[in-house]
Amino acid sequence: ETGVTQTPRHLVMGMTNKKSLKCEQHLGHNAMYWYKQSAKKPLELMFVYSLEERVENNSVPSRFSPECPNSSHLFLHLHTLQPEDSALYLCASSQDLGRVGSPLHFGNGTRLTVT
Amino acid sequence: EDQVTQSPEALRLQEGESSSLNCSYTVSGLRGLFWYRQDPGKGPEFLFTLYSAGEEKEKERLKATLTKKESFLHITAPKPEDSATYLCAVQNTGNQFYFGTGTSLTVIP
């Protein structure tokens, strides 16, 4: 496996369910990110981790809970979601947080539908 | 406030018809401007990083240029496989990334 891998690719959940999204990066990067992508809107940063420590929580509701057990893995735990949380959730990694011009490398996302 | 605006929102081209996509930005200290390609159902794929005004980068039929206020992605003689959404993003001195909403490009055979 190379790059950034996200599972599952698709997820349908009810408002009372609990589920988790998983991300794994094989690039040897030190920073990992969760983004939310909704139609007609810019990518919305949710969380940033650098060397397994959370460095940014962008005013995300507590029904989204991230976890970064090591620099290669990132999870997003979901509970009591709302229909407006339906979106494409993208995981990304970068070489180091704050390295000049270091691009984000994205996975293919999890398409989440909340019913 | 840092922000990125992309235009047009959608673009339809005949195969071989060259054109340009625009990315206008305001940023508190530019550390890098990035172009990505996103295919339906997939994540954004990194194309280019530009660091300073006057810089250009090329890859196959794509050429990205940068001024102090905007970047252009020039597509020369596009093919149907170039159809995708192209995203622009900037990184500021606070290491924050700001993305545009993208240009959806369709190349018709």
Task: Identify the CA nearest to A30 among candidates A57, A55, A58, A65.
Answer: A55
Chain B CA closest to residue A39? B101
β partners of residue B108: B14
Task: Identify the CA nearest to B89 among candidates B24, B42, B43, B29.
Answer: B24
A27-57 residue pLDDT tens: 999 999 999 999 989 999 999 999 888 887 7
Site from A23, A25, A34, A104 to mutate, B interface, most B CB atoms within 10 angstroms: A104
Question: Strand, helix or coil at A60?
Answer: coil
Distance, in Å, from the CA atom of B91 to the CA atom of B100, rounded to the nearest integer, reads: 12
Distance, in Å, from the CA atom of A98 to the CA atom of A58, rounded to the nearest integer, reads: 17
Chain B CA closest to residue A87? B41
Residue A1: is its pLDDT beyond 70? no
B38-85 residue pLDDT tens: 999 999 999 999 999 999 999 999 999 999 999 999 999 999 999 999
pLDDT band at A102, cuts 50/70/90?
confident
Provide DSSP, B4-31: EEEE-SEEEEETT--EEEEEEEE-SSEE
CB-defined contacts A:B, below 8 A: 53
CB contact under 8 A, B51 and A111: no
Distance, in Å, from the CA atom of A79 to the CA atom of A50, rounded to the nearest integer, reads: 24
A47-88 residue pLDDT tens: 999 988 888 777 899 999 999 999 999 999 999 999 999 999
Site from B3, B95, B96 to mutate, A interface, most A CB atoms within 10 angstroms: B95
Q: Which amino acid, one-letter code, is at A72?
A: S
Q: Are A61 and A49 in contact (CB under 8 A)?
A: no
Using CB atoms and an 8 Å cut-off, which of residues 68-87 of chain A contact chain B? none
Give start and end residues of each alpha helix (H) in chain B: none
Using CB atoms and an 8 Å cut-off, which of residues 48-67 of chain B contact chain A? 49, 51
